[in-house]
Amino acid sequence: MTRIFAALCFALLAFSAAPAIASPEASAKIAVRAPAKEELKTPTRESLVAFFEQQMKSDPQVVKFEKTAEGEYAFETKFFPYAGKLVLLNAVVTKYDDQYYENLYRGIIELDLPDANDDFFKKYARSYAAWTSELNYYFNMKKGTWFAGSAWNDNLADFDKYAVEKTAATQGATPGFWAVYGKNLLPIGIFVLVISVVLIFAKSQNKRVWDNHAKALDEQQRGLKMVEESLGHQREHTRLLQEILAALKK
Predicted local confidence at residue 64, as pLDDT: 96
Q: Would you say 65 and 164 are in contact if contact means Cβ atoms under 8 Å apart?
A: no
Residue length of the chain = 250
Predicted local confidence at residue 203, as pLDDT: 84
Q: What does the alpha-carbon distance between residue 133 and residue 126 come to, in Å, rounded to a whole number?
A: 11
Q: What does the alpha-carbon distance between residue 47 and residue 24 come to, in Å, rounded to a whole number?
A: 38
CB atoms within 10 A of CB 48: 21
Low-confidence ranges of the chain (pLDDT < 70): 1-40, 99, 159-183
DSSP state, residue 78? T
Dump pLDDT digits (tens) for 97-137.
776 777 788 999 999 999 999 899 999 999 999 999 889 89
Predicted local confidence at residue 247, as pLDDT: 78
Predicted local confidence at residue 9, as pLDDT: 53
What percent of the chain stands above pLDDT 90? 34
Question: In angstroms, what CA-CA distances link 194 with 2, 22, 190, 204, 206?
Answer: 13, 25, 6, 15, 18
Predicted local confidence at residue 109, as pLDDT: 94
Predicted local confidence at residue 24, as pLDDT: 42
The DSSP string of 134-173 is T-EEEEETTTTEEEEGGGHHHHHHHHHHHHHHHHHHHHSS
Task: Locate the domains of the chain by residue range.
Answer: 1-23+179-250, 35-174
Q: Are strands 136-140 and 72-77 parallel, antiparallel or unpaired?
A: unpaired
Residue 56: CA count within 13 A, CB half-sphere: 21
Q: What is the pTM of this model?
A: 0.49
